[in-house]
Each structure stands twice: as C-alpha cells, then as structure tokens.
Amino acid sequence: MAMANFLALFLLMELIAGGYRDGANGLSMNYYVFSCPFAEPIVRNTVASALQSDPTLAAGLVRMHFHDCWIQGCDGSVLLDSTKNNTAEKESAGNLSVRGFELIDDVKGQLENQCPGVVSCADIVAMAATEAVASSGGPVYDIPKGRKDGRRSKIEDTFSAPAPSFNASELVRAFGQRGFSARDMVALSGAHTLGVARCSSFKNRLGDPTMDSDFSKTLSKTCSGGDNAEQPFDMTRNNFDNLYFQALQRNSGLLFSDQTLYSDPRTKSIADGYAKNQATFFLDFQHAMVKMSLLDVKEGSKGEVRSDCRRIN
C-alpha cells in the first residue's frame, strides 16, 4: 500500500511538473515549478513594475523576443555583448528598436539569488515578452519553459531577418521558411501595435501617392527631424490593440512591410478580419507567439544556463 501511495504521488508530481510537454524539445509549462518556483512571479512582477514607470518598454521587450527567436532560435543570443573579436547581434541596425537589456539583467540577478544556475536567459526573454503583452492590454497567455542559452551571437546572422522593405510575397516566403503560415505572419505583424519606428525605416514611404494624405504630411513632418526621429505605428503606441490593422485600412501603415499586408489578397482579408474583431487577432497572436517561442530551442549540451545574460559561461 505504501508503495502504491508513493507511485501515485510520484505520478501526480510528474503530471504537475509536466503541464504542457513537447516531446520534440522537452519544454514544459511548469518547468520551474520545483527547481525555481518563484521564477515566473519574479519575471511578472519585475516587468509589470518597470512598465508602470515606462510603458514604452513593452514594445522593446516584445521585439527582443522576436529578434532573439528569429536568429539561431530562442536562445538569448540577442543579449550577448560584443567582444574584442566578435560583433554581436545587438549591434545590428535591425536591433536598434530592441530595449530592456537592463531589465533582463535585473530579473536574472534576482533569479540567481533565488536559484543559481537554473533559469535561462532565453526563458527570461520569452516570459518578459508575454508579460509585456498582457500588461499593455493584450492577450494573457502562457508559454512552455526550459530553453537553454546559446553560445553564438554574430551580427552577420541578423542579415537574414525580415526587412521593413519586404513586400507581402517576401514576408510570406520568409515566415514560411520558419514554419509560419500567412495568418501567423499577419498576426505577429500586429505586434507593431506597440512602439515606434525611426524615420530611416519608413522614409522610403514618403511621397507614396497611395498613402493617406494626412498621414503622409505627418510622416514628412516627423522625418524633418532626421533619420532618428520616431513615429508611432498607430494612435495608441503603448496599448496592445487592433488599431494597427485599422490604420492599414486607412492606408496609414507606417512601414512598407506594414501597408503591404493590405495590398496582397493573401493577407488583406486576414488584416480586415483583425481590424474588425480584436478577439480574433488576440487569439491568433497568442497562438503564433507560442509557436515562435519554440523556434530552434536548444537543450542539453547544445546550450547552457548563463550566470550573466551578457556573456557565455
């Protein structure tokens, strides 16, 4: 009887710890439930507190997760600093909009005090992004944990990332090569509901005769401040909502890669649907973000748990 009770308890603990388990990569929704039970509350509370002080940080954290996962998989490579012999990913022009490195350092420091060598930097980035979305009014969702940190971060690896100049066909192809459908791609593009872009990313749109005339004047005025002048993607830069897609309907997409979603029949109907129904956008977005968080996950000897997110062990 004692053995039966022990086995029953063991199986229950395995079920609790397993939660969601992906056989291909061993990730689990409750990966840290025993090894570092305060991991998720620490991330959640630290991010929420930071966003209360600076709501604009949400956009940077979401972009950090996307830029991390797209290059070499979700392995925290975007956090690594350059060294004397290597220029890291974070130095690329495409990563200028990524913010929150100090916040990740803060979270990592707290977690190292609680449970040294347990929680990876890659998981911290992924969890911080989910909290940034939720704290900004977006969908509340969970992601599996258990990623390991990578040991490679090279600026040349970022050259394959989707560019602001991509048209819909190029976007569909680029995302398709990573396993995403056109619907996934449009939903993920909706993350542009948060934050701003610099004039250098959208000045090629100036003079576009198809653009809304008032919006065109706004962009021209913004760019009079130089390449680093910033323009929000939509009217609520700190709120996660569907106004980004409504802007596309008005021909007021900020980047060429934004407005192109409304000029291709494969993506236009999806964008229309999200503009009309925010709940549908939220549901598809969280599905696509969970999918993204599983890109090329490293496990075992292929990765490590850094003690300092800016440096390999």
Residues that are catalytic: 67
- 234 marked among binding-site residues: yes
Residue 143 tokens, joined: 């992601």
CA pair distance 211, 180, nearest whole angstrom: 29
- 210 marked among binding-site residues: no
- 89 marked among binding-site residues: yes
The values of phi and psi at residue 92, to 5°, are: -70, 155
- 179 marked among binding-site residues: no
- 68 marked among binding-site residues: yes
Type of residue at 307: S
Beta-carbon count within 10 A of 26 CB? 14
- 77 marked among binding-site residues: yes
Name 308's bridge partners.
311
Residue 126 tokens, joined: 């992924």
- 81 marked among binding-site residues: no
Helix (H, G, I), strand (E, B) or coil at 28: strand
- 189 marked among binding-site residues: no
Residue 222 tokens, joined: 């913004």
- 193 marked among binding-site residues: yes
Helix (H, G, I), strand (E, B) or coil at 303: coil
Handedness of CA 239, 120, 88, 257 (dihedral sign): negative
Please enumerate, by residue number, every residue annotated as part of a binding site for Ca(2+).
Answer: 68, 73, 75, 77, 89, 193, 234, 241
Please enumerate, by residue number, every residue annotated as part of a binding site.
Answer: 68, 73, 75, 77, 89, 162, 192-193, 234, 241
Please enumerate, by residue number, every residue annotated as part of a binding site for substrate.
Answer: 162
Please enumerate, by residue number, every residue annotated as part of a binding site for heme b.
Answer: 192
